[in-house]
């Protein structure tokens, strides 16, 4: 029966992948109903804590966008890239990684991609190279960011085992950065040179590729309020790290029954991020209507719906079959825990969500007795979303490359992002394990 239930979960994930977006959450709920009516699986409680953490982070990032803070970051990126056009294959992923690290979401790359495409074309560099690794870098920075929904969810799961946010960051930040740099090297000679590419030359002959004049380049005003919003956002990220690392910074409170306890990290993250968004509204002219209509908010809410349905289904399955899963998996995972990284990678490739993957599988890893520090070390494995090229940021990378070098192949999986993604993820996980063995 367990394998039949598991088949239902996989089928619903594959069905969800057909339409993507919020449909993942809907497919997850439908799968749970099948498990409940056909296999009499008892539904667990939805992952409320994970969803509320994601919501608070999304609101803060959306307030940053509405305040103009995102635009300030984009302008800084453009200046950096134009200073080193010939090395854009290496500098572009660094910019993408840094910006996502600061913002907590890879959606910031939407505004950077046109700059990467234009600068690489002007420098005679095949745009496929910097675009492919930059898209991968923007997603690998998500587990490295202390304010991303995936990271705060993992921190909340590992906190009861004494794993601090600082320990997670000490492994994942250098590991993901090492992975994307090796990934950049792997694509630095990918494909023909731009002046030899037949697709590009054909588009030039047809007048489909035109250079922008300096007057057409992006003009973004660095307002005082926008700069303050960036400062507020970064300070809130630092506060989250400090509160997660030093428990004594969190206040002790007394409940109605007279029990004294320290405020848990989940509640602290939610309060800090909601407060930071409120400060941006109060002092940075963040329009509340723009907050809920912005791209960051829409993408974030889509992720929350995905977590709602998908993790509800998977958690119910795990709770019903945990004893059998432990019996089957304990020996294998104990002898080769790296196989769990493969599981994380596969699920993330199906769900297209680091947060959903953390919520769905990390509790299983903990229940199987995998060292919590090891789970943190292999955290970069949740970045397998690129296998199926249907996410917005991948499609945007293809769309913004007017030279036609960045593409999705006839067989779908033979696309421009595959090499960069596989190399960066593999070496990111390996680096994480090595750093864990050295430090802990």
Which pLDDT value is given to residue 129?
93
Which pLDDT value is given to residue 137?
94
Q: With b meaning 16 or more CB within 10 Å and e meaning fewer, what string describes 214-247?
A: eeeeeebeebeebebbbebbbebbebbbebbbee
Tokens representing residue 187 in the block:
């694509």
- What are the CA-CA distances from residue 202 to residues 129, 198, 396 (Å)? 20, 6, 22
Contact assessment for residue 273 and residue 147, using Cβ atoms and an 8 Å cutoff = yes
Distance (Å, rounded) from C-alpha 95 to C-alpha 137? 9
pLDDT 10s per residue in the chain (440 long)? Answer: 788 988 888 788 778 767 766 787 898 899 999 999 999 999 988 878 777 877 887 788 889 888 988 777 767 777 777 777 778 899 999 988 987 887 676 766 766 777 788 788 878 889 899 999 999 998 899 999 887 878 888 988 898 898 988 899 999 999 999 999 999 999 999 988 888 888 888 877 877 666 544 444 445 557 889 999 989 988 887 887 778 767 788 899 998 888 888 887 778 888 988 999 999 999 998 888 888 887 778 767 876 787 788 778 877 887 787 677 666 656 666 667 788 898 888 878 876 678 778 877 888 888 888 899 999 999 999 998 888 766 667 767 777 777 888 887 766 677 889 999 999 999 999 999 999 999 98
Q: Which domain holds residue 365?
A: 2-439
Contact assessment for residue 279 and residue 272, using Cβ atoms and an 8 Å cutoff = no
Distance (Å, rounded) from C-alpha 318 to C-alpha 313? 9
Which pLDDT value is given to residue 432?
95
Distance (Å, rounded) from C-alpha 300 to C-alpha 303? 5
Tokens 């769900």 sit at which residue? Answer: 351
Which pLDDT value is given to residue 13?
73
Q: With b meaning 16 or more CB within 10 Å and e meaning fewer, what string describes 146-168?
A: bbbbbbbbbbbbbbeeebbbebb
H-helix or E-strand containing 260?
strand 260-262
Which pLDDT value is given to residue 210?
61
The total of other beta-carbon atoms located within 10 Å of residue 393's CB is: 22
Tokens representing residue 86 in the block:
């010939």
Counted domains in the chain: 1
Distance (Å, rounded) from C-alpha 208 to C-alpha 228? 41
């Amino acid at each position: 029966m367990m394998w039949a239930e598991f088949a239902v979960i996989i089928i619903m994930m594959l069905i969800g992948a057909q339409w993507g977006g919020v449909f993942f959450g809907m497919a997850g709920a439908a799968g749970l109903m099948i498990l409940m009516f056909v296999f009499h699986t008892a539904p667990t409680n939805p992952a409320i804590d994970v969803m509320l953490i994601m919501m608070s982070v999304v609101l803060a990032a959306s307030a940053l966008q509405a305040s103009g803070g995102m635009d300030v970051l984009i302008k800084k990126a453009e200046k950096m890239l134009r200073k080193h056009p010939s090395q854009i294959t290496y500098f572009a992923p660094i910019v993408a990684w840094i910006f996502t690290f600061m913002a907590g979401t890879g959606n910031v790359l939407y505004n950077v991609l046109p700059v990467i495409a234009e600068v690489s074309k002007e420098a005679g560099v095949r745009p496929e190279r910097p675009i492919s690794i930059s898209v991968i870098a923007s997603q690998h920075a998500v587990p490295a960011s202390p304010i991303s929904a995936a990271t705060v969810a993992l921190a909340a799961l590992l906190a009861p085992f004494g794993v601090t946010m600082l320990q997670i960051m000490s492994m994942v930040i250098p590991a993901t950065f090492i992975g994307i740099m090796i990934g950049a090297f792997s694509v630095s000679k990918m494909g023909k040179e731009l002046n030899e590419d037949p697709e590009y030359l054909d588009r030039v002959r047809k007048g489909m590729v035109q250079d922008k004049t300096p007057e057409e380049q992006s003009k973004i005003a660095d307002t005082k309020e926008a700069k303050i919003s960036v400062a507020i956002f970064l300070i809130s990220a630092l506060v989250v790290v400090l509160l997660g690392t030093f428990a004594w910074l969190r206040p002790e409170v007394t409940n109605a029954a007279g029990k004294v306890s320290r405020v848990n990290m989940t509640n602290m993250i939610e309060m800090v991020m909601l407060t930071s968004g409120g400060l941006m509204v109060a002092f940075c002219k963040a329009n509340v209507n723009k907050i809920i209509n912005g791209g960051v908010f829409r993408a974030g809410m889509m992720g929350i719906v995905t977590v709602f349905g998908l993790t509800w289904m998977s958690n119910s399955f795990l709770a019903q079959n945990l004893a059998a899963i432990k019996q089957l998996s304990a020996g294998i995972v104990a002898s080769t825990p790296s196989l769990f990284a493969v599981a994380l990678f596969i699920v993330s490739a199906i769900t297209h969500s680091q947060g959903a993957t953390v919520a769905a599988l990390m509790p299983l890893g903990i229940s199987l007795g995998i060292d919590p520090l090891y789970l943190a070390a292999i955290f970069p494995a949740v970045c397998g979303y690129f296998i199926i090229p249907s996410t917005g940021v991948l499609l945007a990378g293809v769309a913004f490359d007017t030279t036609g070098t960045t593409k999705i192949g006839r067989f779908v999986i033979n696309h421009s992002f595959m090499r960069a993604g596989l190399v960066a993820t593999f070496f990111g996980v390996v680096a994480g394990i090595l750093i864990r063995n050295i430090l802990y």
